[in-house]
């Protein structure tokens, strides 16, 4: 494909339109929010866990996850030795 003047005349405006759409798809800026200032974490003391499974059940209930679609569970393993 040789880029002729004619082809360039078609390609450039098309590229410009495409570029505009790309810019429109980028998220709005949130001026007062800095991503690097918000590091979230969660600590779980597993030595206190009694394995009742209420954390799993509560998450499922509060988020209205239908039966059969839940993929978060807590398993217990006993390692000998």
Partner 1 sequence: MRLAAVFLVGTLLFLLARGFLVPRSFGQYGHYRGNAIAEIAARPVAFAGHQTCETCHSDVLELKQKGRHARVNCEACHGALAKHAEDPVSVKPAKLQAAVLCARCHEANIAKPKQFPQVVPAEHSGGAACDMCHQPHSPALDSGKRK
Residues binding partner 1 (CB under 8 A)? 1-3, 15, 18-19, 21-28, 30, 33, 35, 38, 47-54, 58, 61-62, 64, 76-78
Q: Which is nearer to partner 1, 64 or 67 (CB)?
A: 64
Q: Which is nearer to partner 1, 43 or 46 (CB)?
A: 46
Of 50, 63, 45, 43, whose CA–CA distance to 71 is shortest? 63
Dist. CA 9–CA 15, nearest whole Å: 10
Dist. CA 45–CA 20, nearest whole Å: 50
| Shortest distance, position 2 Cβ to partner 1, whole Å | 8
């Amino acid at each position: 494909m040789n880029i002729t003047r004619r082809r360039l005349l078609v390609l450039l405006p098309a590229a410009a339109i495409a570029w505009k759409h790309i810019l429109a798809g980028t998220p709005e800026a949130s001026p007062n929010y800095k991503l690097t200032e918000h590091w979230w974490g969660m600590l779980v003391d597993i030595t206190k866990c009694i394995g009742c499974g209420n954390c799993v059940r509560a998450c499922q209930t509060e988020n209205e996850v239908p039966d059969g679609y839940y993929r978060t569970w807590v398993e217990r393993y006993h390692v000998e030795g």
